[in-house]
Amino acid sequence: MTVQGGWYTDSMYRLASRKRVFGFTGLVAALFIGGMSWAAVGNGVFQGFIHHIAQQINRDKVDFAVAESCTSWFYEQLKKPSPVRPDVQQLSFVTEEDSSHACAGRYPGIDEARQAFAHSQSTLSLSLTFYQLALVADRNDDERYDAGELQDMLASLNVAPLQGDHLQLLAKLKGKFDDVRETIEFTTLTDSMQALYSKGYRFTPADQAAMGRVTGES
């Protein structure tokens, strides 16, 4: 099963298991506040940016697991025998006995649960793809953005650079991620990735390992 615009297929959805999702602790990364040189700027931006995305991945994984679980729960209710006579209109397939279930309190019915499930699939896929982009932009895998890497990534995302101010740069990148995720604009991500690939950037084994850590698959 593939989510539209995502870079991951079946392997991504293995992270939907509830044990793995709720046991996820997130990527531990601290925002490094260094000097105002481009080297320090790049380091602080990289660490702060991937930390921000990883935190959202953590939340998205929980939302995905909850929506998946509740969708399954509502389907199970549909399979239960009708609690009322055939000649009495049944207003809801959730019985009084089941109404105290957390899913019944979270979603009005199966349609809303399915919509939440589909939406959480898309947002999780987008967050993971954005994390991949942030890793790819670190061309030499030294966990920092040098001047060229930082400028290339900003250009690929159409974010105007602010020379020498790492806090503003980081805030703008976080804002870009939040905006793209809010509107689920996969095109922005695919265009950005293509721009980096055209300049020789690649998804490396080190990047794959980092993705495994954030998804819980390594």
Q: Quick: pLDDT tens for 146-174.
A: 989 999 999 999 988 766 577 888 899 99
pLDDT value at 217 more than 50 = yes
- The tokens of 123 are what? 């947002």
pLDDT confidence bin for 100, thresholds 50/70/90: low
Report which residue type is found at 62: V
Report which residue type is found at 23: G
Percent pLDDT > 90 in the chain is 57
Name the H helices within 80-109.
Answer: 102-106
20 assigned to some structural domain: no
pLDDT value at 109 more than 50 = yes
Neighbours of 84 (CB within 10 A): 10
Q: What is the CA radius of gyration of the chain?
A: 21
Q: Please say whether the dihedral angle defined by the alpha carbons of residues 216, 26, 21 and 182, taken in this order, is positive or negative.
A: negative
Report which residue type is found at 178: D
10 assigned to some structural domain: no
**Higher model confidence: residue 118 or residue 78?**
118
What is the value of pTM for the model shown? 0.74
User: Residue 6 and residue 117: Cα distance in Å, rounded?
Assistant: 16
183 assigned to some structural domain: yes
**Higher model confidence: residue 98 or residue 56?**
56
161 assigned to some structural domain: yes
| pLDDT recorded at residue 1 | 39
115 assigned to some structural domain: yes
Query: H or E element: which one contains 23?
Result: none
Per-residue pLDDT tens over the stretch 47-91: 999 999 999 999 999 999 999 999 999 999 888 776 555 554 444
**Please, which residues have CB within 8 angstroms of residue 59's CB and are 6 or more apart in sequence?**
none
Q: What is the full DSSP assignment across 33-46?
A: ---SSHHHHHHHHH
Q: Please say whether the dihedral angle defined by the alpha carbons of residues 76, 82, 83 and 88, taken in this order, is positive or negative.
A: positive
Report which residue type is found at 28: V
In the chain, the number of structural domains is 1
Domain of 41 in residue numbering reads as 37-215
29 assigned to some structural domain: no
Q: Determine the 3-state secondary structure of 218 from DSSP.
A: coil
75 assigned to some structural domain: yes
18 assigned to some structural domain: no
User: Residue 192 and residue 186: Cα distance in Å, rounded?
Assistant: 10
